[in-house]
A and B are shown apart, each in its own frame.
Chain A
């Protein structure tokens, strides 16, 4: 594996997390529990998709094979997606959706902060924009999680259940394999242990305020970075890629 190949894979990981999560958030469009939240999720999805586009655009240039951002989004199969398993988790009820975003935001914000110092100038520039947006994302998901946890018995129960169910998928965020180590060595990506420390601090702070219990770090699911996904991703891609698969080359 050359450094160029590792960088391409790393960019796919960054981009795929955002694209897949943005698609999940987009699934709420028109179904939000209240109008403000419907709009909030659509806006968050737009932020994620915007960042994903910038990353894919950089990735295809690094790859240098003439592919486009759309090729990466619409013409790859399940096993070629390297998003973290958390991103593809189904929406469930609103507590599940908020907890999924909260766990991702608690990881994404410190990651974006660290990537502003990346030796790859384009990654640093994309991250500098993402950091500002990620602060709003984390505030949005934290506020709701605190409201659920410290709310009624029912909302507390659902928030805790969502947390317990999603928790096993958080380990996948911090897997440091050969690709990641190559990125750390090249000062392109941060050591994920530092991101984990920040993630833990955010989780503990918000759990305390939300009166929720942080699940134990037991068995953790992994495999997303290697293209080994849950059964949910295939269905998501079938919907997301339908138009481009049915009408190859279609453009707006």
Chain B
């Protein structure tokens, strides 16, 4: 029978469908993993944004990954409380975001970050701090759109939440 550790290792293969370099574990949406005596895995996930269309895809991907690897039954539950925060994105997760070209979120302890009023977001391409926000809503609800004034590339920033 697969243990909780096996399940966690498999979940590392399940990526965020909108940012396919970061796993659901690194994104911090997996809140609880439990294996019942009959081998059924119960995975609890929490939504990033309430209307995030990726949540249903993530739930389906989690099911598929586990079922494909010999877990006899899988249930994916959703919980709302406590509310997801970008602080739950792991440090390796943040490094992967940056390498993918997305500026990772600051800690929510910085109140300006939480209000979307960060003075400086470094460009993930060239590291320049000479950047400007173009729109607080980027390609998805969780990202803002920025532009680098030095390398002239636009980039996404994972907003603090």
Contacts and interface: CB of A to CB of B under 8 A. Distances in A.
A50 B47 contact: yes
A40 B159 CA distance: 14
B60 interface: no
B28 to A, nearest CB: 14
Contacts of A133: 49-50, 141, 161
A43 B137 contact: yes
A135 B51 contact: no
A46 B49 contact: yes
A37 B135 contact: yes
Interface residues of B, number: 27
Interface stretch (B2-10, B18-26, B66-74, B78-86): B78-86
Contacts of A43: 137, 140-141
B interface, over-half SS: loop
Contacts of B49: 46-47, 50, 133
A168 to B, nearest CB: 29
Given A36-B145, A128-B81, A47 B51 contact: yes
A29 interface: no
Interface string A35-50: 0110110011111111
Nearest to A58: B80
Given A46-B51, A132-B161, A139-B116, A54 B80 contact: yes
B120 interface: no
A40 B140 CA distance: 9
Contacts of A197: none
A18 to B, nearest CB: 10
A242 interface: no
Interface in A28-80: 36-37, 39-40, 43-51, 53-54
Nearest to A143: B136
Interface of B: 47, 49-53, 80-85, 114-117, 134-141, 145, 159, 161
Q: Which 10 A-B pairs have the closest CB atoms?
A: A50-B51, A50-B50, A46-B51, A40-B137, A125-B81, A36-B135, A125-B80, A43-B137, A43-B141, A129-B83
